Amino acid sequence: MANLNPTREIEALAAEIGDKIYIDVAKWHLYLSDAHLHTTVAEQVYPFLENKSLSEGQVQDILKQISVKLGGGRTQLPLFELLPDNALQDLMEILEEYQKQL
């Protein structure tokens, strides 16, 4: 994957994240694309992928900083708190594979 068009690469990464990673709300799986969070995640992690310096700790920190409004904005939770462990593992696999391709 060439680094000629980072916008296109972020969009491709966002699409993959959005289709495969979900938040769990009362046993309902809401995919990040449906929640409109996939692009935010991709934009936040992409600089670390580009620099080949992404770690699980960094991903967790990024997810903790992305705030998700619930109940019409009455409350907010970090995205990290809404991802089940298996979704976090899947996200790490996607990001590690993507980093190898850069």
Query: How many other β-carbons are positioned within 10 Å of the β-carbon of residue 83?
Result: 20
Helix-helix angle 38-50:85-101, to 10 degrees: 50
- What span, in angstroms and rounded, lies between the C-alpha atoms of 18 and 12? 10
CB burial class (10 A; 0-12, 13-18, 19+) of residue 10?
middle
Token pair listed for 100: 């190898």
CA distance to 4, 5, 72, 80, per residue, from 91 (Å): 24, 22, 27, 11
Q: What is the pLDDT of residue 3?
A: 53
Q: What is the pLDDT along the chain (102 residues), one digit of tens a residue?
A: 445 578 999 999 999 999 999 999 999 999 999 999 999 999 999 999 999 989 999 999 999 999 999 999 999 999 999 999 999 999 999 999 999 988
Q: What is the pLDDT of residue 77?
A: 97
Contact 23, 36 (CB under 8 A): no
- What span, in angstroms and rounded, lies between the C-alpha atoms of 87 and 29? 10
